[in-house]
């Protein structure tokens, strides 16, 4: 059964890969806001169905979503790293009040969502680990760029991620907390060497895309089937887990990055761009919808009402937090 699902997913990858071969380069779509917004929208929906599957005991129709959820988190982190490095590169005073601006933007929707969770479910925001991780990466990015002693900022970011993964491994923190972190570093790296990378990709597009697709398929398969292997050493098993998920995450974001060179994502799903604008809020409140409406889980309309409730709450939180942040920015 698992092999069948994997075959379907890999077939989709190959189809997209082959489609990209026959299209011309589209410089306007390479990591454009409209393209990344569409991808974020798709990722938000995949994560919703991933957790819907876990809530319902992983029925067959939702199994593929539960297998690729971490790849969507990788893309979120990749876009964050890419955007932050772009901000530093293009805006002279980008780091002024950086933590105040960025953390407020991240935490304001969290506070609103937290109030909703506490008032209705008497619990905290679910799947909150991502909030801690992204906030930590933002803080470390700022520290890396404000270091007093001269050093390579990318090296500093990489050292921080290595230290974080090591601590998580030693403390037996669940791997969801750190398996996708290198995607953030890759986002920073890709933007820093943007001109050189784009030139290389354009000149050797087919070869690089083919190579990366093969790497992604191999390591995605190995990560998905890791529990089938008998590994006696707990240390070796943990190292294999970190390595396999790490490489599959990195190769996934590079695959999407290269596909944006030729595939105009916005033409595929314009409505996804609007979903992408509230992707963060969807992540924050989808757990609320799943469990608030859990009593209807046996009914056919459960997925539809949970998704509708999630989008509605996300829109409200997005609008409300936008007004709050606008008011606060006047004081800053």
Q: What is the number of other CB atoms lying within 10 angstroms of the CB of residue 5?
A: 15
The answer, yes or no, to whether residue 3 has pLDDT greater than 60, is: no
CB-based burial label for 311 (10 Å; 0-12, 13-18, 19+): buried
| C-alpha separations of 121 from 48, 229, 287, 293, 332 in Å | 19, 40, 11, 11, 34
Tell me the average pLDDT across 98-106. Answer: 93
Give the tens place of pLDDT for each residue, 236-289: 778 888 899 999 999 999 999 998 887 776 665 677 888 999 999 999 999 999
End-to-end CA distance of the chain: 56
Q: Collect all residues with Cβ–Cβ distance below 8 Å to 47 and sequence separation of at least 6.
A: 69, 72, 73, 282, 283, 286
Tell me how far apart the alpha carbons of residues 278 and 283 are, in angstroms, rounded to a whole number: 9
Question: How distant is the alpha carbon of residue 232 from its chain centre?
Answer: 32
Q: What are the tokens at 42?
A: 């798709």
What rounded mean pLDDT belongs to the chain?
A: 87
Q: What is the number of other CB atoms lying within 10 angstroms of the CB of residue 43?
A: 26
Give the tens place of pLDDT for each residue, 194-241: 999 999 998 888 889 888 988 998 898 888 887 676 666 677 778 888
Share of the chain above pLDDT 70, in %: 86
C-beta of residue 250 within 8 angstroms of C-beta of residue 186: yes
- State pTM to two decimals: 0.91
State the DSSP string of 141-201: HHHHHS-SS---HHHHHHHHHHHHHHHHHHTT--GGGTTTTHHHHHHHHHHHTHHHHHHHH
pLDDT of residue 332: 53
């Amino acid at each position: 059964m698992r092999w069948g699902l994997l075959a379907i997913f890999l077939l989709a990858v190959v189809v997209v890969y082959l489609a990209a071969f026959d299209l011309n380069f589209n410089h306007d779509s390479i990591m454009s806001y409209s393209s990344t917004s569409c991808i974020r929208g798709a990722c938000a929906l995949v994560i919703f169905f991933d957790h819907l599957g876990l809530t319902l005991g992983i029925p067959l129709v939702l199994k593929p979503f539960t297998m690729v959820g971490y790849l969507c988190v990788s893309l979120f982190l990749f876009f964050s790293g890419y955007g932050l490095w772009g901000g530093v590169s293009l805006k002279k005073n980008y780091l002024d009040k950086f933590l105040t601006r960025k953390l407020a933007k991240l935490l304001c929707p969290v506070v609103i969502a937290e109030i909703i969770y506490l008032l209705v479910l008497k619990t905290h925001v679910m799947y909150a680990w991502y909030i801690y991780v992204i906030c930590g990466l933002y803080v470390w990015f700022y520290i890396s760029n404000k270091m007093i002693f001269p050093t390579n900022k990318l090296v500093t970011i990489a050292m921080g991620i290595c230290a974080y993964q090591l601590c998580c491994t030693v403390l037996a923190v669940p791997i969801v907390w750190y398996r996708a972190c290198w995607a953030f570093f890759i986002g920073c790296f890709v933007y820093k060497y943007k001109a050189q990378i784009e030139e290389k990709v354009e000149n050797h597009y087919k070869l690089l895309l083919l190579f990366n697709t093969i790497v992604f398929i191999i390591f995605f398969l190995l990560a998905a089937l890791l529990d089938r292997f008998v590994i006696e050493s707990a240390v070796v098993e943990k190292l294999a887990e970190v390595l396999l998920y790490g490489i599959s995450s990195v190769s996934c974001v590079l695959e999407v990055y290269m596909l944006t060179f030729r595939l105009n994502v916005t033409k595929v799903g314009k409505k996804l761009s609007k979903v992408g604008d509230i992707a963060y809020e969807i992540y924050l409140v989808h757990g609320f919808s799943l469990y608030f409406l859990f009593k209807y889980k046996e009914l056919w309309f459960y997925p539809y009402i949970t998704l509708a409730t999630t989008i509605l709450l996300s829109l409200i939180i997005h609008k409300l937090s936008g007004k709050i942040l606008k008011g606060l920015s006047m004081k800053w």
